[in-house]
Amino acid sequence: MKKSLLLLSAALALTAQAAPDAKPTGASESSAATPVPAVEAKSQIEADYDAVFTIWRRKAPEELSRKDRAFWRFQDETMRAFAAAARAFAQKYPNDPRRFDGLVQSSFTRPWFIEDFKPAFDAQPGERNLIVDQAKLDAFQAEQAKLLSEVAAAPDASPRQRGGAFFALLADARGKARAAGQAFDITQYQPLVDRVVTTLGDERMMPVVEQYVGGLREQAPAAADAFVAQLKTNPKVAVALQAAEDRQKAEEVKAAEAAKRRAAEIGTLKFTAADGREVDLAKLRGKVVLVDFWATWCGPCVAEIPNVVANYQKYHDRGFEVIGITLENPAFAQKDDAAAKERKLAAAKQKMLDFAAKRQMTWPQYFDGKWWKNDYAVAYGVNAIPAMFLLDQEGRIVSTEARGPKLESEIRRLLKITD
C-alpha cells in the first residue's frame, strides 16, 4: 500500500527544523480565505503536539460506514499515521511530558496493517475478516511494548500515562494468550513491576503496582499477598501503599454516598416520554419498576431486550413497570448547522421508536439525543450500558444486576408471587 497522505503530513509537521521558540509561518488553507482575529502564535512544540492529535481526531467521510471496505482502510491509515506521528513527537521532544500521550493512546487505537479482506467480510464486516500484514503488525506491537514499558517506568510520566501504559501492556498480552488458546500469566511482568518500584519507590508507582497486584490476586491470591508483604519491607514503599489504601477507602465512602443519593433521587424521575406520555415515578409507588438504560447501538442491551419484554408481558398486569432511558447518538458532525442537527435528532428519535415498536417494547422511553451526556445518565453516574435499577414498591433501589433469569426471580420476590 502506498504511504498515506496522513502519514506524509504528520512526518512533515514533526520533522520541521525550527528553534524551540519559533513561530508558525503562514496560515492554514481554511484561514487564508477568511480573515480571523489575531491570536497569540503557538510555539513549535504546541503546533507539533496539536498536529499529532489532529490526526487522531479525524473522522471517516460521512458516506462511509463500518460495512464499507473504504471505511476500514481509512481507519487503518489514520491509525498508522497517528502512531507514526506520536513516535516522531516523542523522539523530537524527549523531555516534554506530553510525549507519552500519543504513545499510550496509539495502543488503544492501533493499526491493523490491512492487506486485503476475506470473502466473508461483506456479510460480516469486522476485524476477524481482515487480511493483515502479520509481520508489520508483530513489529509494531513489539516496538509498542518496548515504548509502553519505558512509559511505565518513566519518572516524569503522569499517573494516567503510567496506568494507561501498563493497562495496554496487560491487555495486549491477554489478547495474544487468548488468541493462542493459552492461559495468561501476569508474572511475566514482575520484572517490569520490580523496575518501576526500584526506579520510583513512591506513590508514582501505584498505577502499575495496583494493577499488577489485582491481576496477581485473581491468578494466585497467596502470591499476591506475598508480593505485597515483600513491598512493605521497604519503608518508603510501605508509605505509598498505605496512602493508596487510604485513598481507595475514601473513594469507596464517596461511592457509597453517591449510591445513597441515587437511591433517593431515582424514584423521583419525571419526564415526557418520546411518544408523548407523561412519566412520574412517584405515581408508580406500589409497583415494581425497572429503570433500564440502553441504546439501539448497544449489542448487550439488545440481547437483553427479549428477556425484559417477556417479563413485562408476563407481570405488567400484576404490578411490574419498565421505564427506558435511551442513550441514542444522533451522530452530529462539526459542520452541522442547527437545521441539520434538528433533522438528525428527529431521525435518531424515530429510529429508536421504530426499533422499540418492532420489538414490542411498549413501555415509555426517555430520549434527549445527548448520547453519553444523556441527562439522567449523567445524573446517576451511568458510564456504561446496559445499566439498570430495579425499584421496589417504595421506590428504593433493590438491584442493579437483575438481568437474565434473575430479573424474573426478583420480580416474583418483590410482588410476592408464588404461583
pLDDT in tens, 101-129: 999 999 888 899 999 999 999 999 888 89
Q: What pLDDT was estimated at residue 153? A: 92
Determine contact, residues 310/277, Cβ cutoff 8 Å.
no
Amino acid, res. 214: G
Coil/strand/helix, residue 320:
strand
Is 262 within a domain? no
Name residues whose C-beta falls within 8 Å of residue 10's C-beta, 6 or more positions apart in sequence: 51, 52, 55, 81, 82, 84, 85, 88
Determine contact, residues 389/400, Cβ cutoff 8 Å.
yes
Is 168 within a domain? yes
Tell me what the mean pLDDT of segment 403-411 comes to. Answer: 92
Coil/strand/helix, residue 95:
coil
Buried b (16+ CB within 10 A) or exposed e, 70-104: ebbbbbbbbbbbbbbbbbbbbeebeeeebbbbbbb
Is 46 within a domain? yes
Coil/strand/helix, residue 124:
coil
Q: What pLDDT was estimated at residue 259? A: 67
Residues 110 and 193 in one domain: yes
Beta bridge partners of 291: 323, 389
Residues 160 and 284 in one domain: no
Q: Decide which of 223, 251, 279 is a domain's last residue.
A: 251
Determine contact, residues 383/286, Cβ cutoff 8 Å.
no
Determine contact, residues 322/363, Cβ cutoff 8 Å.
yes
Residues 77 and 150 in one domain: yes
Residues 76 and 195 in one domain: yes
Is 339 within a domain? yes
Residues 31 and 175 in one domain: yes
What pLDDT band is residue 313 in, cutting at 50, 70 and 90?
very high
Residues 203 and 279 in one domain: no
Give yes or no for residue 38 having a pLDDT over 60: no
Residues 304 and 230 in one domain: no
Residues 313 and 377 in one domain: yes
Q: What pLDDT was estimated at residue 40? A: 52
Give yes or no for residue 10 having a pLDDT over 50: no
Question: Does the model's pTM come out above 0.85?
Answer: no
Better-predicted residue by pLDDT, 235 or 38: 235
Q: Which segment of 36-50, 75-89, 149-163, 272-286 scores lowest on mean pLDDT?
A: 36-50
Residues 189 and 294 in one domain: no
- Strand blocks (E) in 235-382: 270-272, 278-280, 288-294, 320-326, 365-367
Q: Decide which of 201, 216, 251 is a domain's last residue.
A: 251
Query: How many structural domains does the chain have?
Result: 2
The secondary element (H helix, E strand) that includes residue 355 is: helix 338-358
Q: Which domain holds residue 28?
A: 5-251
Is 257 within a domain? no
Determine contact, residues 52/89, Cβ cutoff 8 Å.
yes
Is 259 within a domain? no
Q: What pLDDT was estimated at residue 408? A: 95
Angle between helices 190-200 and 206-219 (to 10 degrees): 150
Residues 303 and 393 in one domain: yes
Better-predicted residue by pLDDT, 381 or 205: 205
Segments in 296-337 forming alpha helices (H):
299-315
d(CA 100, CA 87) in angstroms, rounded, equals 9
Coil/strand/helix, residue 323:
strand
Residues 360 and 392 in one domain: yes
d(CA 283, CA 321) in angstroms, rounded, equals 12
Residues 206 and 353 in one domain: no
Give yes or no for residue 272 having a pLDDT over 60: yes
Segments in 109-234 forming alpha helices (H):
134-153, 159-179, 190-200, 206-219, 221-231
Give yes or no for residue 31 having a pLDDT over 70: no
CATH assignment at residue 309:
3.40.30.10
